[in-house]
A and B are shown apart, each in its own frame.
Chain A
Amino acid sequence: MDSFLFLIASFILTTVAGSLIVILRRPAEVDRIMAAQLLGTGGVAILLILATATETGPMVDVALMLALFAAFVSVAFVRDVSHPENTAQRR
């Protein structure tokens, strides 16, 4: 069971990693924020699976933390976009 859990965690890591590398090469800033958001969710999934596989309960807390702060970064981004003088300069 444990090696199956590790396998699934590695699979999720691989898909997330692949898309991260593709998305982080895109020019638009929104795509980059999406990449951060995707890694937030993927990281939560990986950590929860690892927590079950290694039977370390506190890892769930790390997942909780990741979930809270991934949203926080996106809020900071949306705030910066909301200022008109920023969009005028946008390429």
Chain B
Amino acid sequence: MGRRRFAAVILIAAAAALAGCGKVTGTADLNALLTESWRAYSTGDFDFAEDTFRRAAGNPDATAEQRYGALLGLATTYHWSTSPDLSKARESYLELAELGGDQPRRQSVLGLAQIDLAEGKKAEAQLGLMQLIKDFPDSLEANEAALHLADSYCDPTWDEAQASGFALPSDEQMQRGIQVLQDRLESHPDNPLAGSMHVMIADQYIQLKEFPKAVDHLLMADKEGVEGVLTRVILLWRVARIAEKELKDYELAEQYYERYVDEFPRYVLIYRVMKSLERVRALRTAEES
């Protein structure tokens, strides 16, 4: 009996050894495969996305465009998966740049800079981002680059030497971040990310406790149009609250509290807003009389 059992175990072990030869079969059409891969990426199936992107990138029949798409996808997957592999992402971005052409290069530079940032190489990242803004001033990527560049100046960094574990940026660094964004807004005032840029500037001014400037930029952001609900609800509350508490500009406060009530009548803070609105109105009538 013992020998027979042993034979069966061997059999199963052999099956196990063979297991490594398996491969997920692919779709014939490369574009469909790429769509499938992006979908896998966006749904969090990074292993699948990695596999299929790599296969698409290695496909000798791929057109230049498909190769670009596949490499970008592969780099993006390595870069942004839940367990990122930054060195592989870097390789793929570099490979992407070798394809030539503006589009691949822009994506590559932006990606590489973000990796540098994640790895704490601020100087390299800043250099890359500045280069991107300079080389392709009118591109979409330059807008995002400006945001990342500003962020790289203003962001607190991990620093285990500090008791808290973090090093805060100095005021000069924050001013510099603000400057980057302001330059970009000056040269490209109507870029699609202008709203976000103003919000970011305002954030820095709030940290610096320069509230009048913060409010100015929030108002400009509002004018550019901020669509994201989360961002917008904070924007309205901030303008009103800062106007009331810091600037004592009750007219502005009233205006924004009113807009808050109009736009977010069901938001968690609504009762506070309504109360504040009453208070501000009372203050205004008191002022006028």
Q: Real complex partners, A and B?
A: no
Give A residues with C-beta under 8 Å from B: none
Give B residues with C-beta under 8 Å from A: none
